[in-house]
Every structure is written in C-alpha cells, then in structure tokens.
Structure 1
Amino acid sequence: MTLIIIHSYTVLQLRLNRKFSRNLTASAISRYFSFSTLYIAQGIPEGITFFAIPAWLAMNNKTPLEIATFVGIIGIPWSFKIIVAPLMDRFTFLAMGRKRPWVIFGQLGLILSFLSIAFIADPLNNLTALATVGFLISFFGAFQDVATDGMAVDVIPPDEQARANGLMWGSKIIGTSLSLVIGTALINSIGFKSAIASLSIAVALIMIVPIYFTERPGEKTMPWSKGKANAKSKKTQLRSWSQILKSLYRVIRLKGSIIFGIASFVIGTMYGLMDTLFPIFSVQELGWTNTSFSQVFSIASIIGGVLGMFVGGYLVDYFGKIKMLMFYLTVIATIIAIFALTSNFWSNNIVIYMFIVGYYTLYTFLCIAVFASAMQLCWKTVAATQFTLYMALSNMGRASGSALLGVLKTYFTWDYVFLFVAILPLIMALLMKFVCFDKHRKKIDSFSILDKVLVTPQVIKD
C-alpha cells in the first residue's frame, strides 16, 4: 500500500508540474480539471431531479404512483443516448473541435431547462409541467454526457484514462450527493423555487469551462473567434452516415467489442438490482425511514466518490485495467455473498452501514475500471457512438435488473436475492477472461492505417 501511495503522489506531482494549457491535448491538468467539472455539472441536476424532488413530493403527500410516474418520465432520455451519439460523430463545427461544440450546446440546454423549473406555477399541483421540464433536464444531461464522453475518448491518452475516469466519476457522484443534501436543505428552508434557482447558478458557472478550454491547438474559442480546424480532427471526422455505420460495424463485430457489450449488460443488471433493492430492503426488511436511507445513501456515495477520485484511478493505472477489474468484480461478489449468508446480523445497523459503504465504494471503483476499459476498446473515429453503445447496454441491464427484482422477491427471500446478485459480477469476470485489449487495439490501429492507404481525405472547410 505504501508503494501505491508513493507512486500515486509521484505521478500526481509530475502531472501538476506540466504546463497549464487552454487546449486539452497539451495539458493533463487541464484535462483532469475540465472533465471533472463537466461531470459535476451532470451530477447537480441528477441529484435534484432523481432524489431531492421525489423526496419533496413524498413529503407533500403525493402518491407513490405520481412520484413513480415523474421518475419514470425523467429517466426516459437516458435510455436513448445511442440515438444522439451518431449525430455527434456525423455533424460538428470542426473549427471549434469534434465534440466541444456539442458539449457547449448540451451545457446551455442543461442550464436553461434546469433554471426553468423555478418558473413552474404551483409545481406540487402541476406535475405534468414538472415532469416535462424534468424530461428536458434529463435530455440535455444525457446529451452533455454523450458529448463529454466522446470528447474524453478523443483527447485523453490511454495512460491517463483510468485516472481521468476516477476523477470524472467521483466528481459526478459527489455532485449528485451534495446537490441532494444541499438541495433538500434549501427546499425546506427557502422554498422550492428559490432552492432550484440557487443551485442552477452552480450549473451556469460551469459553462465557463467548455467555453474557455479548446480541444486542440489553433481552434476557435467561439464561432466568431479566430482559429481553424485542427488537421488531426479533419482526418478522424467522418463525413457520411455510410462511413459511420461501416466504421461502427467494423469495430463492434470484433471479439473484444461483442464480449464487452455482453459483460456491460450483465454488470448493468447488477447495478439495477442493487439500486432498486436497497431502498425497498432498508424500509420493508430493516424498518428504516426514507430519510434514514437517504442520509446513509448520500454519505456512502460521497465516501465512494472521494476514494474513487483520489485512489480508484491510480489503482487501475498501477496494476492495470483488466487486473483491477477482475479484482473489483471478485471482491464485490464476495461481500454480497457474505452479506446474504449472514442474515442473523442484519438487525445490527453497524453491519448494514459497513455493507452499504463497502458496496458503493467498490461500485465506484468498478465503474472507473469499466469506463476506462470501454475507452480503451473505442476507435476514435466513432468514439462517441461506440462508447455510448456500451453505456446503453449497461443502462438496458439496469432497467432489466430493476424489473427482475420484483420477480425474484416474489419467489425468494432476501438472502437468496442477494446470492443471485452475487453471481452477476462473477459472470462478468468470466466473460472478461476472453477479452484481449492488446489484440483489439492492434486491430483498430490496422483499420486506421488501412483507411489512410485506401481513402483520400476530403477537404473539410473550417
């Protein structure tokens, strides 16, 4: 452990000593700062819409059906990210970068839609309008997420992907948790509209980041600024739908892509089961209140997020993506199985707290390793679409896991449900044994070399 700490500190010092730059390809510290900040921007509205507002509605005696309908509507856009990603790969304003114009557009939409909640008249008795605005917030949140991920794959070098994902994912979790706690406190103290308006200021301030930083040297800061498209962006930008579909097919038909896609669905099923299981289990089995669960959830998420930011990425870099991925999968399966087999200790809150904190910490570390692995499997030519495809499969797994919980709980007791969940990370670990990242990267590199030989690049106007 001492060696890991020393290594992490040394690497961090080297990164911080690099020259700060306004273009992301030239500075590691600029990349870490920019993407972490953009992920905080995703976490703030998510904490409000998915957690704080439903709790506020419940506090004001809205029925479970009304609250569930609201949450269901705002969750829809996150299932359709795969539709948005090809648009970003196909169209852009190259003079401002391949994905940065889309990030700015998504962030602007996020600000406007988030701020508009505060202008809904009598939101408690106008749930249709509240759900409509919530849908728009989720749409632009998912939009910004796809654009940010695509830009990250484009500009973050392979040796930084794990650390960057640690900072990004940890930032989002912390943003979500803090916005839940702070948002709830503000709603109770200064009122719903004032609370939302106050938090929307933080989302607006983050807009400065994608405006200030460019992807590559020589690009325009804004459309009216001086600059032009970078030569590297021109080479990797696809100009037709047929190119996108053909390129996507070439990379997703590879063995590594297929297996990782299946594995993403499997682990997504575990996420969905656990996310749906925890609130029901804590209230119905343990006798907690919703407030108690929310507090424990926030604390556990923040602990996991902080550790993920400063430890999770470095562990993946130090030991390797696949080794840490297998380790996290094995440990998370083990602690869930142990918890299932020790039901006589469930009456002890300390045991429950340790389990929830342990799970969410490992969940954060696992997400970092999974995202870093997904980035390494991506071909930059169709990075946004390919990465989003993996995330869409994971989201489909989440939805399946949530639906599956009801079936499992109908026929089995909680201890057997937990044992079933423990099997899923082991299945993913088994699947990952058949993924060879080196062979996959060599195959992708051969695609790029072949394209340079066979295809004469079209001249793209700035």
Structure 2
Amino acid sequence: MQAKINFPTLSESAFLRYFNFAALYFAEGLAQGMLFVGIPAWMAMQGKSPSEIGQFAVACSVPWTFKFIIAPLMDRYTYLPMGRKRPWVLFGHLGLMLSIIAFAFVDDPLNNLNKFLAAAFLVSSFGAMQDAAGDAMAVDVVPADQQARANGYMQGSRMVGSSLSLVLCSWILNEYGFKASMLTLFFLVALITIVPIVIREHKGEKILPFTTGKASETSQKLQISNWSVILKALFNVFRLRNSLLVVILLFITQGAYNFFEHLLPIFAVKITGWTNVVYSQAFATADLIGGIIGMLAGGYLIERFGKKRMINIYFLLIVLLVLALNFAGVYWQNTNMLYGFIIVYRLLNAIAKIGVFAIAMQCCSKNISASQFTIFMTMGAVGSIAGASLVGPIKENFNWNISFIFFELFIGLAWLILQFINIEKHVAKIAELEHESTKSLVDTF
C-alpha cells in the first residue's frame, strides 16, 4: 500500500508546505467564523440577552487560553511512525468534526443554553488543539526563510475560511436552521481533513496507523521523551532576552488589536448608525480582501524585505491610518468612508500579524515547538483579554479621539519593543540549546 501512496512530503516540497498549512488554517477559520461572529449575531437576532451571548463568547474563548496545557503533551507524546505533530493534527481534526456533529444535534439550542454552551466549548477546545498542533508542525517543517510566506498563507486562509463560513453557514442558518448550518460546517471541515491525511511530514512515514512505514531519522532526533529535559529546555528558552521581548510584543500587539476591534463596532453603531448586521458584512468583506492579499503578497513582502523592516512599515501605516480617522471627524457619519477604513485597516492588521507571528515562529526551538509557540500565542491571547477589558474604562472617561490615540500609543510601544529584538542572535542561541538538550538526552540513556 505504501508504494501506491507515494506523494511528496512536507519536508520535500515548499508548495506542499504552503498548501498544507493554508488548508489547516482555512478549516480553523471555518469554525471560528461561526463560533465567534456568526452564531453570536444569530443569537442577537433571536432576542437573546447580551449576558447570554457573553456566556457563549466566554465558552468559545476559554479553551484558547489553555492551549499551553495540551502543548507540552504534544511535545512529549506522539506516534513517530506517522510524524511528530501530524498525529495530533489528525486527532484535532477528528475531534473537531465529531464535536461539530454533537453541536448540530443540540435540541432547541437557544432554549437549552447549558448544553449549547457545553457543546460550543467542546468544538472550540478541539479547534484550539488543532491550531496548536498545526502551529507546532509548521515550526518543525517550515524553513526559516519560508516562515513569513507560510504565515501569510496561514493567516490569510483563516480569514478567507472565516468569511466563507459567515456567508454560507449564516445563510443556511437563517434559511434552514441551526442543524443544517452546523452539518454544512462539518462537511466543509471533513473535506479539508483529507489534506493532512494524505500529506506526510517526512518520506517513509505511515499515512495511517494500519499502513506501512516507519519513523524518520529527523523526527527521532528532534523528539524528546523526558519531561525533565522538556521543562529544562522551556526554562532555558524563556530565560533568553529575545524570548521575553517576543512575549511582550505579542501581548501588546494582540491587546492593541483587540482593544481597537472592540471599539470599532461601538463607533460604527453609535456614530455612523450602522446595524450589527451591516458591520458583520463589512467585517467579513474586509477579512476576505485582507485574507486574499495576505496570502498573495503579505508573506512574500516580509520574506523579501525582512520581517522587522516590513513590520515597522505596517505599524507606521496603521498609526497614520487611525490618525487620519482622528482628523476626519466631519466624515465619521459617511458610510463609504468607514467601510473603506475597515477594509484598509484589516488588510494592514492582517499583514502586520503575519510578520509578528513569523518572528515568534522563527524564535522557537524545534525540540519544544508545540510548547514554546503555544506559550507565545497564549500570551497574545492574554493580551487580547487585557485589551478588550480597557475598552470600557477608556471610552467611559475619554472621547473618541483620545480613545483612538490610546490605540496609536499601544502600537507605538509595540514598535519600540520590536527594535530591541535580535532574531539572528536568538536563533544562534536556540541552536546551542537544542544541541545541549540532545546531548543531555543521550547522556540520560
């Protein structure tokens, strides 16, 4: 059977790497679009209270802040004949599909909130697991000089997937009901799951547990099966100055973005007079445009001209864009102006994120890829929570102009932190630590 299934592998083909991770993030975006935007909007249309919608949002958000619990297990335990992280990716996809089915069959979901919230929590948990496994696989198999472009495809695909599910599954939700919408979502995710099933990490590995194949030498060398070595490696990596700076950068940028993106819909509704439906449509359109351009150009530009240089430019453009909004008060009620602003902002936001995530990926050790990258992303999630929590206090005490200036200051602080990150020095130090970890593991035996 192995001879019949002789596709190129992720380690052999740059195209397959880009295609594989674009597909994984597309599937992730499909679920996120409905969980974080589509279903809350539907609940609002059906007359559910802000408190009930907030409970749903919390149920979907909490699993993403606890990815750091599962990530060390991904580094410690795996089935090497199928790859280091691919078994976890497949497990995450399987769990995501089964949980979506369970979600679809919650009877009368709007009047059975406890089961509805529990099922949403389960879907989001497997979505978070799939995300952590996909990120770790990318750190393992994507060379440093391709990570920016890979992140472009990943983040862009997620935005496109989110937009697709918002349009298609929301339409089915309104026309045919909740069950039909979620079963459509299941079908789309199941279709994408074919990609990680047939594409292996390294040549000679098994497609599935019952097929022929064996663990690759590369995976065996990277795999650490000793908890003390894993924890020591994590401790040593996060003692490094640049690791801490990356953590701070992620915390500030994700906090700033979430602050502004919670502020923007309030601004659109109160000042421009938009409804939540109009805002959702504008947001979906902006994400579709931003996602496509991010895939086609975002990663390439960062890869071509350098991560720090391009992120500096994008930070500057974001600040100038919001500054222009600040001085355009007489046009705030112009729908076309705000629509254009949202599209340009989401495009710049998407490409800036691609660069920051590429830096975080390059600063990871392959030995503990799942744990380290997940900790990076978890700190970004904590920053997002902190950013959202600032919306109320700042808006209640300051006018719109000052509130926008706070966002510009947050981006300015992120720019300052970025200047102190030395990627090349950090990568060299990571290589030394990986060598020491491997030596320590050999000495143990």
TM-score when normalising by structure 1 = 0.93
* Compared CA separation, residues 344 and 447, structure 1 to 2 (3 A): same
Percent identical across equivalent pairs?
Answer: 44
**Match in the other structure for 2:384:** 398
Residue 129 of structure 1 corresponds to which residue in structure 2?
A: 115
Q: Distance in 2 between matches of 1:50 and 1:409?
A: 23
The amino acid that maps onto 1:51 is: V
Equivalent-residue separation in structure 1 for 2:370 and 2:325 (angstroms): 38
Please point out which of 141, 152, 155 is paired with 1:155: 141
Structure 2's unaligned 5+ residue stretches are 1-5
Q: Deviations over 1:289-313 (max 9, x none)?
A: 1111011111111110010000101
**Relative to structure 2, which stretch is displaced further, 99-108 or 231-240?**
231-240
Q: Which residue, 133, 145, 161 being the options, matches 1:175?
A: 161
CA distance in 1, matches of 2:255, 2:75: 28
Picking from 332, 336, 342, the partner of 1:356 is: 342
CA positional deviation for 1:458: 7.5
Q: Does residue 274 in structure 1 map to residue 286 in structure 2?
A: no
Match for residue 61 of structure 2 among 67, 75, 96: 75
Match of 1:111 among 97, 105, 108: 97
Q: Is residue 21–residue 30 contact of structure 1 (8 Å, CA) maintained in 2?
A: no
Q: 2:273 aligns with which of 280, 287, 290?
A: 287
Aligned partner of 1:122: which letter? D
Q: Aligned equivalents of 1:138 and 1:22: distance in 2?
A: 32
Specify the alignment match of 1:33 in structure 2: 19
1:320-348 per-position Cα deviation (integer Å, ceiling 9, x unaligned):
11111111111112211221232222122
Which whole-Å CA distance do the structure 1 matches of 2:98 and 2:280 have between them? 28
Q: Equivalent residue for 2:29?
A: 43
Q: Are the equivalent residues in 2 in contact too, given 1:21–1:27 (CA < 8 A)?
A: no
The 5 A counterparts of 1:55-454 are 55-453=41-439
Counterparts of 1:455 and 1:188, CA distance in 2: 57
- Write the letter of the residue equivalent to 2:20: S
Aligned equivalents of 1:245, 1:269: Cα separation in 2: 28
DSSP-derived class of the 2:286 partner: helix
Counterparts of 1:329 and 1:192, CA distance in 2 = 40
Code of the aligned partner of 1:288: W
SS at match of 2:421: coil
Displacement of 1:455: 4.7
Cα 1:451–1:188, aligned 2, differ >3 Å: closer, same or farther? closer
Q: What amino acid maps onto 1:343 in structure 2?
A: G
CA distance in 2, matches of 1:375, 1:74: 25
Amino acid at match of 1:350: N
Instruction: Name the stretch that deviates more: 347-356 or 431-440.
Output: 347-356
Residue 287 of structure 1 aligns to which amino acid in structure 2?
Answer: G
- 8 Å CA contact 1:22–1:212 kept in 2: the answer is no
Distance 2:117 2:265 in 1: 22
For the 8 Å contact 2:23–2:195, the answer to whether it is kept is: yes
CA contact (8 A) 2:273 2:333 kept: no
CA distance in 1, matches of 2:392, 2:440: 54
Residue pair 2:271, 2:333 contacting (<8 A) in 1 also: no
CA distance in 2, matches of 1:457, 1:176: 48
C-alpha distance in 2, partners of 1:457/1:45?
45
1:258 partner letter:
L
* CA distance in 1: counterparts of 2:31 and 2:440, whole angstroms: 46
Instruction: Please say if residues 174 and 301 of structure 1, whose CA atoms lie closer than 8 Å, have aligned partners that are also in contact.
Output: yes
* Mapped contact 1:235–1:457 kept (Cα < 8 A): no
Letter of the aligned partner of 1:132 in structure 2? A
How far is 1:199 from its partner? 2.2
Relative to structure 2, which stretch is displaced further, 314-323 or 335-344? 335-344
